[in-house]
Amino acid sequence: MELLVTILVILHFVGLSFLLGSFLVQIKDIAAGKGRVLRGMLDGAYTQLVTGVALTGIYSAGLVEDEEVNNAKIAVKLSVLIVITVIALIFRKREVAPSWALWTIGGLTLLNVVLAVAWN
């Protein structure tokens, strides 16, 4: 089970990299009002959603010793990710997405990182 958890955590970080990287790579375009929702944003959000739910399930089932799930933290992080995903889905087909939407995606992604690290 430890190997599966390790693989899921790595994939969770890969999803984060897709999501945050897709935002960071176009900051100049976003500031100029020419940013768009890149495929990496959706792929990263979906990857984080699937791996996060799987990890929560594994830990909640008690399949890994000495690990507890902070359900409040998971609920907040999941809510933030759902908002990110919905915004990305709404604006994914537009040639140019509103800057506020892209800044919100980037900010909420960073918020999820802070919550993951700082909330014990």
Please give the pLDDT value at position 112.
97
Tens digit of each residue's pLDDT (9 = 90 or more) over 95-116: 999 999 999 999 999 999 999 9
For the chain, how many structural domains are there in total?
Answer: 1
For the chain, give the percent of residues with pLDDT over 70: 100
Q: Is 118 exposed, middle or buried (0-12, 13-18, 19+ CB in 10 A)?
A: exposed
Domain extent for 66: 2-118
pLDDT of 71 over the 90 cut:
yes
H, E, C per residue of the chain: CHHHHHHHHHHHHHHHHHHHHHHHCCHHHHHCCCCCCCHHHHHHHHHHHHHHHHHHHHHHCCCCCCCCCCHHHHHHHHHHHHHHHHHHHHHCCCCCCCHHHHHHHHHHHHHHHHHHHHCC
- Structure-block tokens of residue 110: 């960073």
Q: Across residues 16-23, what is the average pLDDT? A: 97
Tens digit of each residue's pLDDT (9 = 90 or more) over 44-53: 999 999 999 9
Q: Across residues 70-98, what is the average pLDDT? A: 97
Please give the pLDDT value at position 67.
86
